[in-house]
Each structure stands twice: as structure tokens, then as C-alpha cells.
Amino acid sequence: MSADRPFDNQRILITGGTGSLGQVLTRRVLSGEMGRPAKVVIFSRDEAKQHFMRLQHQNVAAATDEVIYRNAKDALEFHIGDVRDRWSLASVLSNADVVINAAALKQVPTCEYFPTEAVRTNILGPENIVSIIETEKLPVKVVVGVSTDKACKPVNVMGMTKAIQERVLIQGNMRCGQTRIVCVRYGNVLASRGSVIPLFHEQIRRGGPLTITTPEMTRFLLSLDDAVDAIFAAVRDGKPGDTYIPRAPAARMTDLAKVLIGDRPIKTVITGIRPGEKVHEILISEEEAQRVEDRGRFYAIRSLLPEVTAQGATASVLKKEYSSGDELLSEPALRDLLVGHKLMVGDVNSEAGELLR
């Protein structure tokens, strides 16, 4: 695996590949920026999403997309299956060089009402990946587990299961000696399904009001491409057991609402914080801050396990937790960011596509 082009001639497996992140990740993998993969396999249990994603990748949207979509026709495959099902997972893992596990139950209320289902997908699914690689002695080179800010100091089932997912995967480095296993953790992604910007857009179109749970609430602001950048960095540079954290701007949700509303006669309503919801997103806890390395645009949390963190201890670059409440964008800077990502109301060519139309 080349350091500069780690995907060259590699077989890439993306579990949960039909989600918002998975679709942008697939486009970026097929673009060749990390090297030309021999095969990209989308593994998920949603037949309808796979069907529409397949159709999307069979059409050339613009002249500049020709290379991407010609490659997609040759390289892209879809498999129905579930990370909970060891047998269906084993069938696709057996031919994989790089695995990116984006499969998850990620809606906080759903996980609260169906905690056992969250355990099966978010914990037992990653355990299946590690166990199959271990017992079948598969030559998988890299596994990247996609996690969430909610795994840091978790207060809800979704976060608790994702926190254990991280530990299952990181400990897997001890069981799968030839496989480098790393994680990526980030907060809510701009314009992904279920996130605040599509909600605000829809509320503005209806004439308001915009609903905000508490005036103090802040969030990190990452685009889908920022999220993919973090995954690519972990593949390229991550050491066994690392958890990669993107450095991201943050904003108060009341300021986000003001910028999106502009001069429209639309009100905001404070609804009260929901059970299990945090006022600030925390990507690195106080305890983890003692084990953080600087990786340029990213932080890397080293593993707790000395058997996994083979390199010697280094001084941490953080002295406290990394929270969205630390440094906030001004309203003009926030507007510039949204305009740059084509996320103002009325934009139709954004990275989120149909979500904002």
C-alpha cells in the first residue's frame, strides 16, 4: 500500500455505504485522489438506497464527472447484507484490503427506545469485523471505524454503543496483527440527514418558527467532505489504535438560525433541551486530552492500551477537553462558511444535493 496513493489497486469495502457520508465517501474514493481502487463494494441492508445509488453512478452528470463515473461502472459493486450477520459480512470481508465501517444506528431517540438493536449494530457489528479477520486470518490491511462525538463522555445509548465500538476496534489491533485498525470521530455533519441545517431550511420554507432547544447550544461545523478528509487521513497516516479528530470551527445555534433567516420575518422558539442531548459537542474528553498528538488538520488520540500504542509516550498537545463551546465563529464568519459550502436557503448545488432542495 503506497503512502501517497494507498487505494491503488486495493479492494475497498464500505459498510453502511448508502448513507449521506457513504455516498460522498464513495464518490471521493472513485475519483482516484487516493489512488485507483480495483474494486469498491457498498455493503448495506437497504435495497432501495442501493438501487438509487447504483442509478446515480451509472449516469454522467457533467463532463468533469466522466472519469469518476466510467470508473464507477467498472469498479463499483453493491451487496445486500448486515454487519450483524456474520455470514453475509464474511462473504465481502474475504476479498477486502481496506474496510471503512460506516454502518450504524445513529438516531439518538431510536437507540433509546431500542437499545438492544443499537448494541447489535454498533457493537456486535464491529466485533464481527474484527472476529472474522482474526479467525479467518484475512489479509485486510486497514480498518477504519466511523464514530461520533456522542461516544465522548456518553450520556445516551447511541453514544454508549459507539464508545464501545471504538474500544472493540482499537483492541482488535491485538487480535489482528497484520491489520491496522483506527477510528475517526467527529460531530454532526453539515446537511447530513437528520442534522440541524436541513431542519432549519425546512422550517424557513414553511414560514417558521425555527426551533432551538437552548440558547447556549453550540455545535462543530463540518462538511461531508471534511468528514471524508478525516477518514482518508486516518487511512494514510493513522497508527494502530489512533482515533482521528478533525479540527473544526464551531458556532452557537442561535447565530446559525439568525444567519439562515437573514431578513425574513421568521421567529425562533426555544423548546428546551431533549433527554440525552448535550449543550456542547465534545470531541476529546479531559482524560483523553492527556494522550493527544498533533497531526496537522487533525488531532490523534493514542490508545490506552500499551500493547497497541507501540510508540513511546509523547507530551500531549492538549491540556483540556476539546469542545464546541471553546471558540465560536462570529455571525459574519459563519455566513461566509455557509455561503462557501452553498448551504444558504435556496442553494441547490450543495454537497448535500436533494437534502437542501
| Residue ranges covered by each domain of the chain | 11-187+221-247+283-323
Taking each helix axis from N to C end, the angle separating 224-237 and 20-31, rounded to the nearest 10 degrees, works out to: 60
CB of 293 within 8 A of CB of 300?
Answer: yes
Mean pLDDT value of segment 293-302: 96
State the pLDDT confidence band at 60, using cuts at 50, 70 and 90: very low
**What's the pLDDT score for residue 311?**
67
3-state SS assignment for residue 327: coil
- Kindly state the percentage of the chain with pLDDT values over 70: 91
Residue 188, pLDDT score? 79
At 109-152, the pLDDT tens digits run: 899 999 999 999 999 999 999 999 999 999 999 999 999 999 99
Instruction: Tell me how many degrees the CA angle 219-208-196 measures, rounded to the nearest 5.
Output: 20
Query: What was the pLDDT predicted at 61?
Result: 47
Residue 268 pLDDT exceeds 50:
yes
In this predicted model, what pLDDT tens digit does every residue of 303-355 receive, in sequence order?
999 999 876 667 889 999 999 999 999 999 999 999 998 888 876 444 443 33
Fold designation for 11-187+221-247+283-323: Rossmann fold (3.40.50)
Taking phi over 0 as left and psi of -120 to 50 as alpha, with beta for the rest, 156 belongs to beta
| pLDDT at res. 312 | 64
pLDDT at 107: 87
Q: In terms of Cα–Cα distance, which of 188, 198, 192 is closest to 249?
A: 188
Assign 3-state DSSP to the chain and report helix, strand, coil percentages, each to 5: 40, 20, 40
Average pLDDT score over residue span 275-302:
93
Query: Which residue numbers are catalytic?
Result: 150
Q: Which of 78-87, 289-298, 345-354 has the lowest mean pLDDT?
A: 345-354
CB atoms within 10 A of CB 218: 23
3-class state of residue 168 by DSSP: helix
Which range is least confidently modeled, 2-11, 63-72, 241-250, 275-284?
A: 63-72
CB 197 within 8 A of CB 222: no
Please give the pLDDT value at position 64: 44
How many CB atoms are located within 10 Å of the residue 77 CB?
Answer: 14
pTM of the full structure: 0.90
| Cβ contact 291:235 at 8 Å | no
Structural contact between residues 299 and 292, judged by C-beta atoms closer than 8 angstroms:
yes
Residue pLDDT, tens place only, 163-210? 999 999 999 999 998 999 999 999 878 877 667 898 999 999 999 999
Mean pLDDT, the chain, rounded, equals 90
